[in-house]
Structure 1
Amino acid sequence: MTQIDYYFATLSPYCYLAGTRLEQMAARTGATVTYKPFDIVAAFGRTGGTPPKDRHISRIEYRAQELPRQAKKLGMPFNLQPAHWPTNGAPAAYAFIAAQNAGGGDLGALAHAICRAVWAEEKDIAEDAVVKACLQEAGFDPALADSGMLEGAETYARNLEEAVEAGVFGAPFYIVDGERFWGQDRIEDLEQHLQGKL
């Protein structure tokens, strides 16, 4: 069975816009998804990228046009300037890792719930109550937000190292058999690759 390594960031608007299309595509192709939440800002600093606030004005302006445009195209609610961004995305990532280790729920739904909380629901994913609500929505025990913090931090750091080593420089980022696909708008290309068409 083909495995897709999915590097995602809890604070990424583009991960939000990916929705659950990756999971739908994996179901169609019989692929499995290994989720690897990582620190995208740290990855920027190590791979030649720049955090959004430090980018040239032309890039900032383009992002301000492109994100709402993509959200409209996908029929997804979106707030370009959410009330709680940037915030500390690590606690949500640690809870995700705890859920991944515990099993019993829907990881794709959890990843989307966390991102949706930021970009469509005006919620702060650094708050325990928000993370617990996301866990519960995706079928996990909300108490997972309080467990495995050390292991979550270690895995989160390890995912960053693996991301940099694998050539990841943004999110969402998908890797299968050494082939890299960057961006929510590359899920169709990834599917065609899995079908042997690309």
Structure 2
Amino acid sequence: MSGPIIHYFFVQSPWSFFGFRRAVDIAKKNGVEIIHKPCRAADVWQHGGGVPVSKRPKPRQDYRLVELKRWSKHLKIPIHLHPAHFPIDETFAARTIIAVQEDGKDVTGLTDTLMGDVWLRERDISDPNTVREALVSNHLSVEYLEYADMPHTAQIYDENCQSARERNVFGVPTYFVGDEMFWGQDRLAFVDMALRT
């Protein structure tokens, strides 16, 4: 099946972080585009019946940490299990990604940097200075900081969230190949297979 891969994610999701580079590599290997759609956790959870980590029952919270450790070791991607800035308002970071994307630029490096800022470097991605440094480190113009706050960018962010609801996305990362949905970074092998059949 031909692509593209449609990728719904939260910038601050550890599972999105674990899957991000692998999804990009799968798209590249199969010669298809991957379209990143950052969206709001509140919108996805409200539609799909999910709740923030802090409001989940303790057994689920505890097991989440077990799985994070397990996948971190398996993928050889170190993370802080309790990063200093999580949960966090990721609106500005997400809109900056969208602003760069709307200008036709590749957002792979920027998105990976911002996710790593949360889970590796324990930085505050709601702080414009953190986002500015992520732009600079990826050789992108700091003018995107201004575009991030423009109504057009906010509208696209809202449209991403609406699109996620319409496609019944209930958690992230979620990938689509055609109309087929794959929830979770542990389903990436199936995304790869779908592209090859």
TM-score band by shorter chain is: over 0.9
Give the 5 Å matches for 1:71-82: 71-82=72-83
Cα shift readout 1:92-115 (whole Å, capped 9, x = no counterpart): 0110000001133x3122221111
- 1:47 is matched with 48
Deviation at 1:160, TM superposition (A): 0.7
- Name the stretch that deviates more: 22-31 or 131-140: 131-140
- 2:103 is matched with 102
Deviation at 1:139, TM superposition (A): 3.3
- 1:136 is matched with 136
Give the secondary-structure state (helix, strand or coil) at the position aligned to 1:35: strand
Partners of 1:19 and 1:33 in 2: CA distance: 11
**Compared with structure 1, are the counterparts of its residues 11 and 49 closer, same or farther at alpha carbon in structure 2 (3 Å cutoff)?**
same
- 2:160 is matched with 159
- 2:117 is matched with 117
Deviation at 1:23, TM superposition (A): 1.1
Moved over 6 A (4+): none
Letter in 1 for 2:83: P
Deviation at 1:35, TM superposition (A): 1.1
Give the secondary-structure state (helix, strand or coil) at the position aligned to 1:11: coil
Partners of 1:175 and 1:22 in 2: CA distance: 11
Partners of 1:187 and 1:130 in 2: CA distance: 30
1:171 pairs with 2:172: yes
Cα shift readout 1:29-48 (whole Å, capped 9, x = no counterpart): 01111111100222101211
Partners of 2:152 and 2:89 in 1: CA distance: 18
Partners of 1:183 and 1:141 in 2: CA distance: 32
TM-score in terms of structure 2 length = 0.94
TM-score in terms of structure 1 length = 0.94
Structure 1: segments with no counterpart, 5+ residues: none
Letter in 2 for 1:10: V
Number of residues of Structure 1 aligned to a counterpart in Structure 2: 195
Partners of 2:148 and 2:109 in 1: CA distance: 20
- 1:186 is matched with 187
Structure 2: segments with no counterpart, 5+ residues: none
- 1:85 is matched with 86
- Which is bigger in relative contact order (C-alpha 8 A, separation at least 6)? 2
RMSD, aligned α-carbons: 1.3
